[in-house]
Structure 1
Amino acid sequence: MNASIITIGDELLIGQTIDTNSAFIAQEFNKVGIWVKRRVAVGDVAEDIAQALDEESGISQIIILTGGLGPTADDITKPLLNKYFGGKMTTDAAVAKHVEHLFHNVYRRPGPIDERNKKQAEVPDIAKVLHNARGSAPGMWFEKIVNNRNVVFVSLPGVPHEMQGLLIDEVLPRLRQHFKFPHIVHRTALTAGMGESMVAERLLDFEARLPQHVKLAYLPSYGMVKLRLTSQGTHAEKLDAAIDLYFDEMTALLQDILIAKTDQPVEALIGHLLLKENKTLATAESCTGGNIAHLITRVPGASKYYKGSIVSYSNEIKEALLNVEAGVLESDGAVSNATVQQMVKGALKQLGTDYAVATSGIMGPDGGTAQKPVGTVWLAAGSEDKIITKLIQLRFNREQNIETATLQALLLLRKVILNEI
């Protein structure tokens, strides 16, 4: 079962807005056995959108459109779909009532609703209206025979929060009723400390032995390689049992670099470890600017083990809040082994936790020296009993350097908690 995703909006083409909708749709589709064959981005041009609908309906049975459903003049998706499917615009009473509820009771906007927003209740009469509980623009479901196949077209708002709610609550249940999907199985392993090419070399014979229906994908990022085995078929139990055997064989070959047999971010793995040990964590960040704290607190339930962070971007804050000695900053510098050790000690004392992690470095594009070039980062993680430090030399742009240093700090922290160092 193939699907195509068409994202609509000039802002996507010029890079002003990042398309996160396609990733979410693809992930949710994959869970139920729908394979996203293509993703297409088009601007706010009616002819281009119509051409994309023609092309994608020729190869996919499910077409998902996002964007262009707002109340402003550049939102052209609704009238275009009305014309494309040969319908007539009509006011949907349920949507009109919902719009009134939003403006009067949720948004609490004074005065009458303007005509522009009232038009949100206008939909093509040939569309099945999908209730948008999170916003005013309804989703719309169309069907059309293309090449002797019944193709489903679903138009969703471009606002991610609204699109996600509609997809989960309205679209997926209807698609399950409309089509019979195959069973798709994934098994994912996380590795760290070895590059993609070296991991692939180690798995060369294993990969050659895989049957045709089992695919191995390599997904590298910032010092880690995610390995995903995928298979699909009609017999769920047999498929699960078969892929488990291959997954066990693969992970046994990677035991020395394996950090997880589930598709979870490192910050979630650390959270599980801390909960298991009933321990707490603090962060002391300089060059990562709170990014470690951001990832940790993104995990639901982090308040049970994470106490807080001191973002000590300046030397004055390192001294005042983390008790880093002025002499150390003068002699060794802020980016040094001694400084990050004292940052960990300061965080442990000030925030009263069992573990702490610290970062200090030069992210660029300037600020480096011959002795400490751009990309020089010192990391530290530890407890009152032991602190481990690590020097890394990064070569990316500022954003990538921050992301890489963040991940490397979390990996170092994980090793400390597991007492692997």
Structure 2
Amino acid sequence: MQAEIITIGDEILIGQIIDTNSAWIAQQLNTIGITVKQVSSVADDSTDIIVALTLASGRADLVLVTGGLGPTKDDITKQALAAYFNCGLRRDPAVLSHVEAIFARSGRPMLDLNRQQADVLDGCEVLFNEQGTAPGMWMVHKGKPYVVMPGVPFEMKHIMQERVLPRLIHVEGRRPLWHHTVLTAGIGESFLAEKIADIEAALPPHIRLAYLPKPGFVRLRLTAAGKDTAALKAETHAIAAAIQQRLGEYFIADEDTSLEALIRDRMQQQGVNLATAESCTGGNIARLITALPGSSAVFEGAAVTYSNATKKALLGVKEETLQRHGAVSEATVREMALGAQARFHVDYAIAVSGIAGPDGGTPEKPVGLVWIAVAGKQQVVARKHLFGQDRAINIERASAAALFMLWQLLNAEG
């Protein structure tokens, strides 16, 4: 079975909001063996909505629509759907009672616009929305199901989880899929592909390999299709094991996770803790770690030492070191790492100093030059990196490289 997702709203097309609904819906459908063939975003325009529905009906066995079900004049999805299905709207008593109860609890006056939230398509099955005022609708048109849901993410997710997915599990035509994800770091996508070229070439027709790169990391996703899920799991596990053996230190995890999450778990297991001293990354490494639940068990704190004065005052970097080698140097990041280790009383410390850009580079120290040091229980390791011209990407790549160096040192000293 193949599905198409249509998201409706001008705010998506002008970039005011990011369409997270489609990604989440696609993940849920994938887990039950329904493939998403296409995702479309259209404006709050009746003609555009009808055209999108018409095209989707020719491509997919199932159409899911989100957005445009609110009470204001720009929310025209129901009217466009009524025109497409050639049906009217009816006011559903149960939905109206639910909307009235919401307004009564909040003590707000209820307008006629709010009552219109209870208007649903003639012939549809109402998908009740306990989390909001806009109900979902399940409509069958020319033998094909259409699922219509509000665009508010938590309301859409509630309807999908409580009303839609339990029903879709029983439809015919689903093709079980199994995904096995491998996390790699410290190696570029092209070099990675070359290293495992023979493994990829030997994959059977029912297993596909996808490369999912981001600065500093590449995820490898094995997708297997077939009727026997247990057999698919065994096959992809064996392939992942072969990839792990081939990649060695570049192989990080046999699961879909993040390096910072693995570091948190490893440090908890080893009973060690961490601090960061950041210059060009501006606290981004600390942000990545503290975004994780449970990070307080291993993370003590961070010093964002952007100027030479703060490097000296907060981390104890020597004036002589800065004068002789400069802020962006191996000597400076080593002293930054050791200073953070001492000041925060931690087992491990990361230090980063570089020229993120777009300005500030010289022929000797160009934009993209970053020095990283990691102080551990037994040693301090430092490494020079030369990234590109983009400031945001340089910060992201430096953060990833620093975490990878910490991971390597944890493994070496653990």
TM-score where L is the length of structure 1: 0.89
Q: 1:287-298 maps to which residues of 2 (within 5 A)?
A: 287-298=280-291
Task: Tell me which moved more, 129-138 or 293-302.
Answer: 129-138
For the 8 Å contact 2:13–2:41, the answer to whether it is kept is: yes
- Write out per-residue CA displacement over residues 85-141 of structure 1, whole angstroms, 9 at most, x where no aligned residue: 233333334444444555565xx5x64144444433332243333333444333222
**Equivalent position of 2:366 in the other structure:** 373
What RMSD in Å do the two structures reach over aligned CA positions?
2.5
Q: 2:348 & 2:260 partners in 1: Cα distance?
A: 14
Answer yes or no: is 1:127 the counterpart of 2:121.
no
- Write out per-residue CA displacement over residues 183-240 of structure 1, whole angstroms, 9 at most, x where no aligned residue: 2112222222332222222322222222211111122221322222111111222222
**Equivalent position of 2:58 in the other structure:** 58
Answer yes or no: is 1:334 the counterpart of 2:331.
no
Q: 1:265-344 maps to which residues of 2 (within 5 A)?
A: 265-344=258-337
User: What is the deviation of 1:180?
Assistant: 5.5
Task: Tell me which moved more, 229-238 or 318-327.
Answer: 318-327
User: What is the deviation of 1:71?
Assistant: 3.0
- Write out per-residue CA displacement over residues 269-322 of structure 1, whole angstroms, 9 at most, x where no aligned residue: 111211211222222222222222222223232222223323333444433333
Task: Tell me which moved more, 89-98 or 70-79.
Answer: 89-98
Q: 2:210 & 2:109 partners in 1: Cα distance?
A: 55
- Structure 2 CA distance for partners of 1:317 and 1:65, relative to 1, 3 Å: farther
For the 8 Å contact 1:345–1:384, the answer to whether it is kept is: no
User: What is the deviation of 1:32?
Assistant: 1.6
**Equivalent position of 2:257 in the other structure:** 264
Q: How many residues align?
A: 414
For the 8 Å contact 1:328–1:339, the answer to whether it is kept is: yes
User: What is the deviation of 1:59?
Assistant: 1.7
- Structure 2 CA distance for partners of 1:206 and 1:362, relative to 1, 3 Å: same
Pairing partner for 1:361 from 340, 354, 366: 354
Q: 1:314 & 1:66 partners in 2: Cα distance?
A: 48
**Equivalent position of 1:408 in the other structure:** 401
Q: 1:244-263 maps to which residues of 2 (within 5 A)?
A: 244-263=237-256
For the 8 Å contact 2:358–2:389, the answer to whether it is kept is: no
**Equivalent position of 2:76 in the other structure:** 76
Answer yes or no: is 1:172 the counterpart of 2:169.
no
Q: 1:186 & 1:331 partners in 2: Cα distance?
A: 53
The SS at the match of 1:372 is: coil
- Structure 2 CA distance for partners of 1:137 and 1:365, relative to 1, 3 Å: farther
**Equivalent position of 2:85 in the other structure:** 85
Q: 2:73 & 2:194 partners in 1: Cα distance?
A: 55
- Structure 2 CA distance for partners of 1:132 and 1:409, relative to 1, 3 Å: farther
Q: 1:104 & 1:125 partners in 2: Cα distance?
A: 27
The SS at the match of 1:356 is: strand
Q: 1:111 & 1:184 partners in 2: Cα distance?
A: 48
The SS at the match of 1:177 is: coil
**Equivalent position of 2:224 in the other structure:** 231
Partner AA of 2:410 in structure 1: I
For the 8 Å contact 1:348–1:384, the answer to whether it is kept is: no
- Structure 2 CA distance for partners of 1:127 and 1:298, relative to 1, 3 Å: farther
Task: Tell me which moved more, 334-343 or 392-401.
Answer: 334-343
- Structure 2 CA distance for partners of 1:331 and 1:97, relative to 1, 3 Å: farther
- Structure 2 CA distance for partners of 1:115 and 1:410, relative to 1, 3 Å: farther
Partner AA of 2:263 in structure 1: I
Gaps of 5+ in 2: none
Q: 1:352 & 1:102 partners in 2: Cα distance?
A: 53
**Equivalent position of 1:41 in the other structure:** 41
Q: 1:165 & 1:416 partners in 2: Cα distance?
A: 43
For the 8 Å contact 2:186–2:404, the answer to whether it is kept is: no
Q: 1:8-23 maps to which residues of 2 (within 5 A)?
A: 8-23=8-23
Partner AA of 1:85 in structure 2: F
The SS at the match of 2:47 is: helix
Q: 1:404 & 1:98 partners in 2: Cα distance?
A: 50
Q: 2:212 & 2:69 partners in 1: Cα distance?
A: 34
User: What is the deviation of 1:399?
Assistant: 1.8
For the 8 Å contact 1:132–1:166, the answer to whether it is kept is: yes
Q: 1:25 & 1:238 partners in 2: Cα distance?
A: 26
The SS at the match of 1:65 is: strand
User: What is the deviation of 1:394?
Assistant: 1.2
Answer yes or no: is 1:32 the counterpart of 2:25.
no
Q: 2:317 & 2:390 partners in 1: Cα distance?
A: 28
- List structure 1 segments (4+ residues) > 6 angstroms apart after TM superposition: none
Q: 1:175 & 1:398 partners in 2: Cα distance?
A: 45
The SS at the match of 1:358 is: strand
Gaps of 5+ in 1: none
TM-score where L is the length of structure 2: 0.90
Pairing partner for 2:211 from 215, 218, 221: 218
For the 8 Å contact 2:22–2:39, the answer to whether it is kept is: yes
For the 8 Å contact 2:149–2:159, the answer to whether it is kept is: yes
Q: 2:110 & 2:339 partners in 1: Cα distance?
A: 56
Task: Tell me which moved more, 174-183 or 374-383.
Answer: 174-183
The SS at the match of 1:255 is: helix
For the 8 Å contact 2:274–2:346, the answer to whether it is kept is: yes
- Percentage of matched positions with identical amino acids: 46
